Amino acid sequence: MRCDVLAIGTELLLGQIVDTNSSWIGEQLASAGIDTLEHRKVGDNLDRVVRCIRSMLEVSDALIICGGLGPTPDDLTREAIAEVMGVPLERRDELVEWIANLFGGRGRQMPENNLRQADVPVGGDVIPNPIGTAPGLRCEVDGRVIYAVPGVPYEMHRMVSEHVLPDLLERSGQRAVIVNRSLKTWGASESGLAEMIAEQVDAQTNPSIAFLARGIEGIVVRLTAKAPTVAAAEALIAPEEARLRATIGDLIFGIDDETMEHAVLSRLEARSWTLGVAESLTGGLIGSRLANVPGASHTFRGTIGSYATAVKRSVLGVTAEHVVSADCAQQMAEAAREVLGADVGIAVTGVAGPGEQDDQPVGTVWFGLAIPGVPTETVSTRLPGDRERIRQFSTISLLNLLRMRLDALA
Amino acid sequence: MRCDVLAIGTELLLGQIVDTNSSWIGEQLASAGIDTLEHRKVGDNLDRVVRCIRSMLEVSDALIICGGLGPTPDDLTREAIAEVMGVPLERRDELVEWIANLFGGRGRQMPENNLRQADVPVGGDVIPNPIGTAPGLRCEVDGRVIYAVPGVPYEMHRMVSEHVLPDLLERSGQRAVIVNRSLKTWGASESGLAEMIAEQVDAQTNPSIAFLARGIEGIVVRLTAKAPTVAAAEALIAPEEARLRATIGDLIFGIDDETMEHAVLSRLEARSWTLGVAESLTGGLIGSRLANVPGASHTFRGTIGSYATAVKRSVLGVTAEHVVSADCAQQMAEAAREVLGADVGIAVTGVAGPGEQDDQPVGTVWFGLAIPGVPTETVSTRLPGDRERIRQFSTISLLNLLRMRLDALA
C-alpha cells in the first residue's frame, strides 16, 4: 500500500507558511507501515491541482490532500476532486444544516461562502470534522482512494488519526493496529546509542526500533508494534522496552510526549520538593520552560535571571571572584534555594558568546545542584554551537543532570 | 520564467525532518519575481528521483534540487542528473584537490566516500561551496536548467543567493536586481493593517507591497523593488517607505532582521539606561529573549521570575492582595528596577491557565512599566489562545509597550 501526500496553498510555495502537515502525515504513515514515496505542494489553481492529483494517482494507491477545503473562492480541493472523478458537486443538506448550526451555536450568522463547504463530489463520502467547519472527503477513482483533509493542523491531525489511517489499514488488508512507544533520551549521540543497542535493533522486526534525532528534544528510540489488537501490540512492546531499559535506562528521561521539564517536575513533586533556579547565560530560559508545564506552580518557585555580575552579587550574594567558575555555580545554586525558599536549587553560569569571558572560551558552562541531604555539586561542560544553541543545550543538560541525581537518590 | 523545487531525502518523507528549504527558496524566488508553481519531496531512490526531475522539467524552465549531494551511497542527485542528461559522471581533479585540502586543513583524513563529491555530469558546471564539502551543480537539459544545491540550510542559502538567483535573473532577461525591505509591525491585525494602507498597496507595482503574517514575530509589510542597480532599487523604495511610515509608523518596531528585543535594547542603550524585569506567568521568557541578543549585557541586568506568590512577596516585596492586578504589576515593575539596580523596570503578571486565578479568567494579563521621569504605568489586556501562546504574546506585547513609551519620550 502506497499513500502519497499533496499539500495545497499558494502561501506554501511562497514560503509564507512552512508545510509541516505533510511531514506529520508522513510520520504517521511510516509508523503504520504504509509506504509514502512522494509529497507535493501546489498553489490554489484548479488546473494545476487537477493535473497533480491525476499524475500522483498514476503511481500511488491512495492520496491524502491537505488544505483547500475552506469557504473562500480560492479553496478548490472539492472542485478539483470532482473534476478528476468526472462528476459534479452536490450540496448536502445535512452538511448545510450542520454548518449553520455551528455558526448559530456561536451566535454568529453563517456567511454565504460557507455553504461551499457543504459541497461533495457525487459518490464521495464525508469525513466528519468535530472541531472545525470544513468536512473532510473520501472519494474513490478507478480503484484508488483520495482523502481530503483541512490544512489547519489540529483539525487535520484528528481526521487523519481517527478516519484516514484506520481506513487505509483496512484497505491494505492489514486489519492491524499500530502502537508506538517513544523512549526519549538525552546524553548520548545517535551513533553512540545505536552502538549500545545495535544487536537488539537488528534482530527486531515487530516491534521495529527506530532512532529519531530531535535536536534540543534529544534522541527518540521508537518502538512500533503491529498486532490484531492494542493489547496484543502492547504485549509485543513490553519485553523489548524492558530490554532497552536494561541497557540505556539511565539515558531515558521520558516516554511519548513527556518533556524534560515535566520529567523533572514530576520527580520533585513525588518528593514534595520545590525548585528554585539561578541562571546567568540562559537569562530566564530554564524558568520559562518549567513555567510552561501545566501545574508547575506546585513545585516551581521561580528563577533569578542574574545576567549582570552585579545582580549575582546583590541578589544572590555571590562572592566568587570569577563568575564562570565552579565556585560561582555552587554559590548560585545555594542562593537559588535560599532566596527563592525552595528545597532544591539549580544554577548555570557560562559563556554564550559572542566573545570570551574571564578568559574562558565560548561554550564553557558550569552547573550547580543543591539537593537536600547531599553536598552541593558542580559540573562543567563545553558546549558547541552558537549563542542560542549553547543556551538551549545548557538548559536541557542541567535539567537532565537534576533528573539523574534525583533518580540516584535512595 | 518558472522555477520549481525538488527536495530530496527519505527522512523528509518520514517526517524526521521538516522541509523548510523549499519554503525558503520559494520565498526568494517570489521576491525575485520568478514564478514557482510546484514543489516536491522524494526519497533517496535513483529511479524515483530521475522520474521526478523529468516530469518537473516538462512544465518548468528551471529546477532547483535540494539535497542528495553528500558523500554517502544514498546521495544520488549527481547520478540522477547525469541520467536525465544522458551523460556519464566524470571525476574533476580540481574538486578532488579542493575536498582533500578541506580535510587536510582540519587535520582529518578524507574518507574515500568523499571523492564522490568530485563527480560532475559531463557538460555540467560546478557551483562553488565556500562553507561545506558538497559543491553545487548547474546543468542544462534541452534548454532547461537544473541547479543542485546542498540540503544543509546555511550552505544552501548562500549558494542560492549568490549563484542561483543571479543566474536565473540573467536567464529570465530581467538583468535587474531585487531589493527587499521588511517593515516589522506589532499591534494591528493583518486586515487592520491592510485597511490602513489599502490605497498605497493597490497603487504600487514597483516596489510591490506584501503582507506576511509571522505569528509571534508580528506582521511584516514587505517592499520589493526591481531596478537595474541596487541604488536605483533603493531609490524606488525610499519614498514608499516614507509614505508607509507616515501612516503606520507607530506600529513599526524594526526593519529586516531586527527583533523586538533588539529594538528595545537599542533604544535603551541610546539613553544609557539599563533594564530589569519581573515576570510571573512568563517565568523567565522575557529575560531569556533579551539575553539572546548579542551585546545584551550592556543594558539587560536580569529578570526575577517570581512564579510563586511567596517569591513575589519575599524577593520583590509585593504587598498587593491579588497577584493578578494593577497594584501587583506596578509593585513588580518598581521592584524590578530597585532589586536589579536598573534604570527601567518592566513587569508582567497574569493567568496563563489551565485554570482561573483570583477569579480572573485565563488570558488576563497586567503589565507594569517603571520609566525614569514619568509615573509608573500599568496596562491590562486579555489575550486569546493556550498557555504557550499567552506567554509568548505577553512577552512581545510588553516589550512593544516599552518600545512605544521610549519613542514617545522627548
Q: Which of residues 299-358 of B touch A (CB under 8 A)?
A: 300-308, 310-311, 314-315, 339-341, 352-354
pLDDT band at B15 (very low <50, low <70, confident <90, very high): confident
Model pLDDT for residues A364-388, shown as the tens digit of each residue: 999 999 999 999 999 999 988 788 8
Nearest Cβ partner for B301 among A27, A311, A352? A311
Inter-chain contact A304–B304, Cβ cutoff 8 Å? yes
Inter-chain contact B37–A286, Cβ cutoff 8 Å? no
Q: Which three cell numbers, joined as nine digits, stand for B171?
A: 536567464
Mutate to test the interface with A, among B311, B313, B314, B318 (most CBs of A within 10 A): B311
Q: In Å, how far is B263's CA from the nearest CA of chain A? A: 18
- In this prediction, residues A328-336 reach a mean pLDDT of 98
Asked if B383 reaches chain A (Cβ–Cβ under 8 Å), the answer is no
Stretch(es) of chain B classified as CATH 3.90.950.20: 268-408
Inter-chain contact A302–B304, Cβ cutoff 8 Å? yes
* Average pLDDT over chain B, rounded to an integer: 92
Strands B144-149 and A364-370, sheet pairing: unpaired
Q: Given a cut of 70, is residue A106 above it in pLDDT?
A: no
Using CA atoms, how far apart are residues B268 and B257, in angstroms rounded to an integer? 19
Which of A9-13, A198-202, A403-407, B39-43 is predicted with the least confidence, judged by mean pLDDT?
A198-202
Inter-chain contact A39–B288, Cβ cutoff 8 Å? no
Model pLDDT for residues A233-248, shown as the tens digit of each residue: 999 999 999 999 999 9
* Average pLDDT over chain A, rounded to an integer: 92
Mutate to test the interface with A, among B48, B301, B390, B395 (most CBs of A within 10 A): B301
pLDDT band at A203 (very low <50, low <70, confident <90, very high): confident
Inter-chain contact A283–B279, Cβ cutoff 8 Å? no
Highest mean pLDDT among A10-14, A169-173, B325-329: B325-329
pLDDT of residue B72: 79
User: What percentage of chain B reaches a pLDDT higher than 70?
Assistant: 99
Among A186, A362, A395, smallest CA distance to A277 is for A395
Asked if B262 reaches chain A (Cβ–Cβ under 8 Å), the answer is no
Q: Given a cut of 80, is residue B287 above it in pLDDT?
A: yes
Using CA atoms, how far apart are residues A39 and B408, in angstroms rounded to an integer? 51
Q: Which superfamily does CATH assign the domain made up of A260-408 to?
A: CinA-like (3.90.950.20)
pLDDT of residue A94: 92
User: What percentage of chain A reaches a pLDDT higher than 90?
Assistant: 70
- In this prediction, residues B336-353 reach a mean pLDDT of 96
pLDDT of residue A173: 84
Q: Which residues contact A318 (CB under 8 A, 6 or more apart)?
A: A306, A312, A328, A331, A332, A335
Q: Given a cut of 70, is residue B380 above it in pLDDT?
A: yes
Amino acid at position B343, single letter? D
Which of A93-107, A269-283, B331-345 is predicted with the least confidence, judged by mean pLDDT?
A93-107
pLDDT of residue B158: 92
User: What residue ranges in B67-143 does DSSP mark as E strands?
Assistant: 89-91, 119-121, 125-127, 136-141
pLDDT of residue B69: 93
Q: Given a cut of 80, is residue B9 above it in pLDDT?
A: yes
Inter-chain contact A55–B52, Cβ cutoff 8 Å? no
Q: Enumerate the residues of chain A whose CB falls inside 8 A of the CB of residue B337.
A: none
Stretch(es) of chain B classified as CATH 3.30.70.2860: 177-255
pLDDT of residue B264: 97
pLDDT of residue B21: 96
Q: Enumerate the residues of chain B whose CB falls inside 8 A of the CB of residue A212.
A: 16
Inter-chain contact A38–B40, Cβ cutoff 8 Å? yes
| CATH fold for domain A177-255 | Alpha-Beta Plaits (3.30.70)
Residue A344: which H helix or E strand, with range?
A: strand A344-350
Mutate to test the interface with A, among B340, B386, B393 (most CBs of A within 10 A): B340
Nearest Cβ partner for B391 among A27, A213, A292? A292
pLDDT of residue B220: 87
Q: Enumerate the residues of chain B whose CB falls inside 8 A of the CB of residue A304.
A: 302-305, 315
* Complete DSSP assignment for B231-289: HHHHHHHHHHHHHHHHHHGGGEEEETT--HHHHHHHHHHHTT--EEEEESTTTTHHHHH
pLDDT of residue B277: 98
Q: In Å, how far is A94's CA from the nearest CA of chain B? A: 31
Highest mean pLDDT among B105-109, B198-202, B211-215: B198-202
Inter-chain contact A315–B314, Cβ cutoff 8 Å? no
Nearest Cβ partner for B308 among A22, A55, A302? A302
Centre a 10 Å sphere on the Cβ of residue A88 and count the other Cβ atoms it contains.
11
By C-alpha distance, the chain B residue nearest A274 is: B308
Asked if A31 reaches chain B (Cβ–Cβ under 8 Å), the answer is no
Q: Given a cut of 90, is residue B410 above it in pLDDT?
A: no
User: What percentage of chain A reaches a pLDDT higher than 70?
Assistant: 99
Alpha-helical runs (H) found in A32-163: 46-57, 77-85, 93-105, 153-159
pLDDT of residue A30: 86
Nearest Cβ partner for B302 among A18, A308, A388? A308
- End-to-end Cα distance, chain A: 51
Using CA atoms, how far apart are residues B134 and B150, in angstroms rounded to an integer? 6
Which residues sit opposite A35 in a β-bridge? Answer: A2
Q: pTM for this one? A: 0.79
- In this prediction, residues A114-118 reach a mean pLDDT of 89
Inter-chain contact B307–A297, Cβ cutoff 8 Å? yes
pLDDT of residue A41: 98
Model pLDDT for residues B58-97, shown as the tens digit of each residue: 999 999 999 999 887 888 999 999 999 999 999 999 999 9
Using CA atoms, how far apart are residues B26 and B32, in angstroms rounded to an integer? 10
Using CA atoms, how far apart are residues B333 and B336, in angstroms rounded to an integer? 5
Q: Enumerate the residues of chain B whose CB falls inside 8 A of the CB of residue A39.
A: 12-13, 40-41
Which of A319-328, B214-223, B320-329, B376-385 is predicted with the least confidence, judged by mean pLDDT?
B214-223
Q: Given a cut of 90, is residue B379 above it in pLDDT?
A: yes
Highest mean pLDDT among A316-325, B28-37, B192-201: A316-325
Residue A377: which H helix or E strand, with range?
A: strand A377-382
pLDDT of residue A224: 86
With beta carbons less than 8 A apart as the criterion, state whether B315 and B306 touch.
yes
Stretch(es) of chain A classified as CATH 3.40.980.10: 3-171
Model pLDDT for residues B95-104, shown as the tens digit of each residue: 999 888 887 7
Q: Given a cut of 90, is residue B107 above it in pLDDT?
A: no
- In this prediction, residues B302-324 reach a mean pLDDT of 96
Nearest Cβ partner for A303 among B27, B274, B283? B283
pLDDT of residue A65: 98
Stretch(es) of chain A classified as CATH 3.90.950.20: 260-408
Q: Enumerate the residues of chain A whose CB falls inside 8 A of the CB of residue B339.
A: 314-315
Amino acid at position B28, single letter? Q
Q: Residue A58 in 3-state DSSP?
A: coil
pLDDT of residue B133: 80
pLDDT of residue A31: 81
pLDDT of residue A252: 95
Q: What are phi and psi of A113, to 5 degrees?
A: -55, -35
- In this prediction, residues A340-358 reach a mean pLDDT of 92
Mutate to test the interface with B, among A36, A39, A357 (most CBs of B within 10 A): A39
Q: Which residues contact B106 (CB under 8 A, 6 or more apart)?
A: none
Nearest Cβ partner for A38 among B42, B290, B391? B42
B3-171 has CATH 3.40.980.10 classification = yes
Task: Supply the ipTM of this predicted assembly.
Answer: 0.78
* Residue that wins the pLDDT comparison between B261 and B359: B261
Asked if B39 reaches chain A (Cβ–Cβ under 8 Å), the answer is yes
Using CA atoms, how far apart are residues B108 and B103, in angstroms rounded to an integer? 5
CATH of domain B268-408: 3.90.950.20
Q: Which three cell numbers, joined as nine digits, stand for A308?
A: 549582570
| Sheet strand arrangement including B62-66 | A125-127, A136-141, A144-149, A62-66, A3-8, A38-42, B38-42, B3-8, B62-66, B144-149, B136-141, B125-127
- In this prediction, residues A51-72 reach a mean pLDDT of 94
Mutate to test the interface with B, among A4, A14, A20, A57 (most CBs of B within 10 A): A14
Asked if B222 reaches chain A (Cβ–Cβ under 8 Å), the answer is no
Inter-chain contact A296–B287, Cβ cutoff 8 Å? no
pLDDT of residue B106: 67
